[in-house]
């Protein structure tokens, strides 16, 4: 992952400081986006690509992976390299990316289509073919400087392509479609596959010998260039196969749903099942010799074999149960809980997460710690578990109910409240030795609860339900939320200030203890599941499709941040304005140490200016990064903010006291769409705004 680099240059001293950028992965590692394709050009050197423009590279056989900048948020679905430097990736909406320096830089190429491209095959640095939706076939003979549309004679989607030389290639796809060329695509001829199942992958080792795989365990084999295709049997298995890789006429591996791996050493006469012990789909596979291969797939899984699949070793660190709750007591100490009784613990800010034994297989939906040692988690069927030693042991407590508990909030070690289905509210004042039912006055499900002290708390739930107590839950009073959308998360910072979030991007805010709740514009329509405020002004909300929203002005404006994933995010916990963790689907854990801002590099230039100034960014237009220079002649509080075309705040680049000097910022806008943006400098009494254009 990248780092934020700040260089301070003075005549006799140079200091370099490092910090993480934006939101970065802590689980799974190296990342958790689905990986769709993999290509190794030697046993040590390979690339894998996937969702949200993910590109990873390894030079040590997968022991370590380095994230590369694609400049795209479209999913990447196929990748092909011809040597250690020259490669092409294709993906959604006609995306084609090209590198000639091993991926240090990926350059967008013009495909001439907005159709998704699923597969790509290059036979040398210049000559390649990509295939995709509605029978799309694109061809280049100049390394992608130009791509020419070819007619494959079909409108069915094409998912895989394999060329053995510049002229001879085969593409496969929807409804058993197979098309073949022997003249570089000038003409494509339809071949009879004998199936109507989707064919998703194809691998040829020479002009005549090839294998295609697809739906319902379909495997087809040809030894005459596709004049005839023969169905091969893999037994009773009927799950989909997504990828296939052969290293010679006899030796090949196919991968598919639920971690399926099938291996043949006799040209497919027999296929042997190999186990990797994962429930997640494998989408791509690449072997460089008969022994050494790598498969990739769902949740960023990467597995590797060096003995032909006798054993497969995970190259990714994965805890894959959905995580629904998270609680940090300081920047280092935190606990996450989730499905099947999962509990994870960190004592070093998430550098390492250690699995703990909860003593239950019920789903856990929420967790609350009051100090590093003392915490309570609640969940399915009224389950409550408690620890007083940082999770070394968790003890089951009696809730007295068998219905789900969705939220819990403790203000000190003994005093806490849990809420759940049918308006259930449970209260303890003795650390959970006994839990007492309190009347909420409602029968609607309650999803979240937040207390600021032992007396004052708010719970929220379905159809806009809000209930409030000022006497420790002895009585609860309904409040008007102004919405009928489900409210799924709430955060109070004091007796008066609180924010609730929920369905369809709902955000509501109170500054008077809930007497009035005001709707705030979130700018989204996807569901928000949780929110965390560290003071009255600074808060973060998370939700569907990797949504993260941030405010530093009490919600007057909410700015979208790049999470780097489309996985659902179910819970978030901040310990200060900058340090936070969010957890979610497939064991996703993301962390930030700078409030979630995107990557900025800043340096001070060694000259003292005589006036305030803001220079035009360079280059302009830019993709994906640009330089912004400014000067301040005296020590000042400096703010530099980025705004969208409608005046919505995108990001804060600088917000701190600066010494007199000349400064240069490099702003990386990898995850933003093309368009017009504005940047504004506010320093002392000086204010200036300039326009810039992001062009991808």
Which of 295, 314, 333 is the last residue before a domain boundary? 314
118 lies in the same domain as 164: yes
Question: Which positions ≥6 away from 622 have C-beta within 8 Å?
Answer: 669, 692, 693, 694, 695
130 lies in the same domain as 246: yes
Q: What is the pLDDT of residue 116?
A: 97
d(CA 189, CA 182) in angstroms, rounded, equals 9
Is 515 in contact with 507 (CB distance < 8 Å)? no
Total domains present in the chain: 3
CATH code of the domain covering residue 688:
2.60.40.2550
This prediction has a pTM of 0.82
Q: What is the pLDDT of residue 527?
A: 97
In a domain? residue 301: yes
307 lies in the same domain as 345: no
Which of 279, 314, 349 is the last residue before a domain boundary? 314
In a domain? residue 459: yes
540 lies in the same domain as 634: no
d(CA 172, CA 170) in angstroms, rounded, equals 7
d(CA 673, CA 678) in angstroms, rounded, equals 14
In a domain? residue 175: yes
Following DSSP, what letter does each residue of 97-156 receive, concatenated?
EEESSTTSS-EEE--S--S-EEEEEESSSS-EEEEEGGG-EEEESSTTSS-EEE--S--S
d(CA 369, CA 260) in angstroms, rounded, equals 40
Which of 561, 582, 608 is the last residue before a domain boundary? 561
As averages over each run of 10 residues, the pLDDT of the chain (696 residues) reads: 26 28 91 97 97 96 93 94 97 97 94 97 98 98 98 97 98 98 98 97 98 97 98 83 98 96 96 89 97 97 96 88 97 97 97 96 98 98 98 98 98 97 98 96 96 97 98 96 98 98 98 97 95 97 96 93 94 96 97 81 60 92 89 90 87 85 84 88 92 88
295 lies in the same domain as 398: no
CATH code of the domain covering residue 216:
2.130.10.10
254 lies in the same domain as 401: no
167 lies in the same domain as 113: yes
In a domain? residue 575: no
- Name the region of 673 (left: φ>0; alpha: ψ -120 to 50; beta: rest): beta
d(CA 227, CA 209) in angstroms, rounded, equals 11
193 lies in the same domain as 306: yes
In a domain? residue 437: yes
In a domain? residue 566: no
Following DSSP, what letter does each residue of 597-638 receive, concatenated?
---EEEEEES---SS-EEPPPBSSSBSSEEEEEEEESS-EEE
305 lies in the same domain as 413: no
Is 22 in contact with 671 (CB distance < 8 Å)? no
Q: What is the pLDDT of residue 648?
A: 84
310 lies in the same domain as 349: no
**Structural domain range at position 252:** 28-314
Q: What is the pLDDT of residue 670?
A: 72
Q: What is the pLDDT of residue 302?
A: 96
48 lies in the same domain as 130: yes
d(CA 167, CA 152) in angstroms, rounded, equals 14
In a domain? residue 336: no
Which residue from 130, 141, 143 is spatially nearest to 173, judged by alpha carbons?
130
Q: What is the pLDDT of residue 610?
A: 83
528 lies in the same domain as 471: yes
d(CA 77, CA 50) in angstroms, rounded, equals 6
Kindly state the tokens that stand for 345.
Answer: 């613990």
In a domain? residue 572: no
């Amino acid at each position: 992952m990248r780092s934020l680099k700040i260089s301070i240059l003075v005549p006799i001293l140079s200091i370099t400081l490092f910090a993480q950028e934006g939101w970065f992965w802590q689980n799974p590692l190296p990342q958790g986006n689905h990986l769709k394709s993999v290509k190794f050009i030697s046993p040590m050197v390979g690339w894998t690509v996937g969702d949200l423009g993910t590109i990873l590279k390894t030079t040590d056989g997968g022991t370590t992976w380095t994230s590369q900048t694609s400049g795209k948020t479209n999913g990447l679905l196929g990748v092909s390299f011809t040597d250690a430097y020259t490669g092409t990736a294709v993906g959604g909406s006609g995306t084609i990316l090209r590198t000639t320096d091993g991926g240090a830089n990926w350059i967008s190429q013009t495909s001439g289509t907005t159709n998704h491209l699923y597969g790509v095959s290059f036979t040398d640095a210049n000559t390649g073919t990509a295939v995709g939706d509605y029978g799309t076939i694109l061809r280049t003979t100049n390394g992608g400087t130009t791509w020419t549309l070819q007619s494959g004679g079909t409108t069915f989607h094409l998912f895989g392509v394999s060329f053995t030389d510049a002229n001879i290639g085969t593409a496969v796809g929807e409804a058993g479609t197979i098309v073949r060329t022997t003249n570089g695509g000038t003409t494509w001829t339809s071949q009879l596959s004998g199936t109507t199942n989707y064919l998703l992958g194809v691998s040829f080792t020479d002009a005549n010998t090839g294998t295609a795989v697809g739906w319902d365990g379909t495997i087809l084999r040809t030894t005459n260039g596709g004049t005839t295709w023969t169905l091969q049997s893999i037994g009773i298995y009927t799950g989909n196969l997504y990828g296939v890789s052969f290293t010679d006429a006899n030796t090949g591996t196919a991968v598919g749903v639920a971690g399926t791996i099938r291996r043949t050493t006799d040209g497919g006469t027999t296929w042997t099942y190999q186990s990797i012990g994962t429930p997640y789909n494998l989408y791509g596979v690449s072997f460089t010799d008969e022994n050494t291969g790598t498969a990739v797939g769902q949740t960023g899984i990467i597995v590797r074999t060096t003995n032909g699949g006798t054993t497969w070793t995970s190259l990714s660190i994965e805890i894959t149960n959905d995580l629904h709750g998270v609680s940090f007591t300081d920047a280092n100490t935190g606990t996450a809980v989730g499905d099947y009784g999962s509990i994870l613990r960190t004592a070093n800010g998430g550098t390492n997460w250690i699995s703990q034994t909860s003593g239950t297989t019920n789903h856990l939906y929420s967790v609350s710690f009051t100090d590093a040692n003392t915490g309570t988690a609640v969940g399915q069927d009224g389950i409550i578990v408690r620890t007083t030693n940082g999770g070394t042991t968790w003890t089951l407590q009696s809730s007295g109910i068998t219905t789900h508990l969705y939220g819990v909030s403790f203000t000190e070690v003994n005093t806490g409240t849990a809420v759940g289905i049918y308006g259930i509210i449970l209260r303890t004042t003795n650390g959970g030795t006994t839990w007492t039912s309190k009347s909420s006055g409602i029968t609607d499900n309650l999803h979240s609860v937040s207390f600021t002290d032992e007396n004052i708390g708010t719970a929220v739930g379905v159809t806009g339900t809000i209930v409030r107590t000022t006497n420790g839950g002895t009585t609860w009073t309904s409040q008007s939320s102004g919405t009928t959308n489900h409210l799924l998360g709430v955060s109070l910072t004091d007796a008066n200030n609180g924010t609730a979030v929920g369905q369809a991007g709902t955000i509501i805010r109170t500054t008077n203890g809930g007497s009035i709740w005001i709707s705030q514009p979130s700018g989204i329509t996807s569901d928000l599941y949780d929110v965390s405020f560290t003071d009255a002004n600074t808060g973060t909300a998370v939700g569907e499709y990797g949504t993260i929203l941030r405010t530093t002005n009490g919600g007057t404006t909410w700015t979208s941040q790049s999470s780097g994933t489309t996985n659902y995010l179910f819970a978030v916990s901040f310990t200060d304005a900058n340090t936070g963790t969010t957890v979610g689907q497939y064991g996703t854990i993301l962390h930030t140490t700078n409030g979630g801002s995107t990557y900025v590099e800043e340096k001070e230039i060694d000259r003292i200016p005589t006036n305030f100034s803001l220079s035009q960014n360079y280059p302009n237009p830019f993709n994906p990064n640009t330089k912004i220079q400014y000067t301040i002649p005296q020590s000042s509080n400096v703010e530099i903010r980025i705004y969208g075309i409608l005046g919505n705040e995108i990001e804060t680049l600088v917000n701190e006291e600066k010494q007199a000097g000349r400064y240069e910022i490099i702003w990386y806008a990898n995850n933003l769409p093309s368009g017009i943006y504005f940047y504004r400098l506010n320093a002392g009494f000086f204010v200036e705004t300039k326009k810039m254009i992001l062009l991808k």
